[in-house]
């Protein structure tokens, strides 16, 4: 029974990966879902939790739906200067290495691996290693 379940889960993961890999919050969702699933149900739970977390992360982004308005308000209250960028402000855009200031996201938002900045008056989450925009906060 468990073999069949693992096989079905592996097939579902294989079929879903191309679709969910393009979503903006997949890496964080997969990581959190896998970690939570493993704690709850061992290795099988990790696989299922990773798939579900990836899908949920892809739909909701890095910040949860309920966190976005709160975080946006927080960022506006900080009065950070806006960096002028000549390209589209979109997920996947890479910001220049020089001239952009990145700020820590407060711990209550649970976003450890990313920083935020303001680009063309829009708050964005950025991977500080690659300078790639991973989420635009609307």
Q: Which pLDDT tens digit goes with each residue over 24-54?
A: 455 555 566 666 666 666 666 655 555 555 5
What's the pLDDT at 138?
83
**Stronger pLDDT, 60 or 106, i.e. the higher one:** 106
Helix (H) or strand (E) holding 126, with range, is strand 122-127
Which residue's entry shows tokens 């097939």?
A: 11
Q: In what order do the strands lie in the sheet with 103-104?
A: 103-104, 115-119, 122-127, 132-137
Name the CA radius of gyration of the chain, rounded.
Answer: 17
Among the residue ranges 9-18, 32-41, 57-66, the one predicted with the least confidence is: 9-18
Contacts of 55 (CB under 8 A, 6+ apart): 16, 20, 23, 29
3-class secondary structure, 123: strand
Q: For the chain, list the domains and their CATH numbers.
A: 2-60 (no CATH), 67-137 (3.10.450)
Q: What is the pLDDT of the chain when averaged over all its residues?
A: 78
Taking the C-alpha atoms of residue 56 and residue 33, their distance in angstroms, rounded to an integer, is 9
Is pLDDT of 17 > 70? no
**pTM given for the model:** 0.57
pLDDT in tens, 67-114: 999 999 999 999 999 999 999 999 999 999 899 999 999 999 999 899
Task: Tell me whether strands 122-127 and 103-104 are parallel, antiparallel or unpaired.
Answer: unpaired
Pick the more confident residue, 8 or 70: 70
């Amino acid at each position: 029974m468990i073999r069949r379940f693992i096989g079905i889960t592996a097939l579902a993961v294989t079929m879903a990966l191309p679709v969910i890999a393009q979503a903006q919050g997949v890496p964080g969702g997969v990581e959190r879902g896998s970690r939570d699933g493993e704690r709850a149900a061992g290795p099988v739970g990790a696989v299922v939790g990773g798939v579900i977390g990836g899908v949920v992360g892809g739909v909701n982004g890095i910040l949860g739906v309920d966190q976005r308005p709160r975080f946006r308000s927080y960022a506006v209250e900080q009065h950070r200067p806006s960096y002028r960028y000549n390209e589209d402000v979109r997920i996947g855009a890479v910001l220049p290495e020089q001239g952009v200031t990145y700020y820590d996201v407060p711990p209550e938002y649970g976003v450890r691996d990313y920083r935020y900045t303001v680009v063309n008056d829009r708050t964005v989450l950025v991977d500080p290693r690659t300078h790639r925009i991973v989420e635009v906060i609307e």
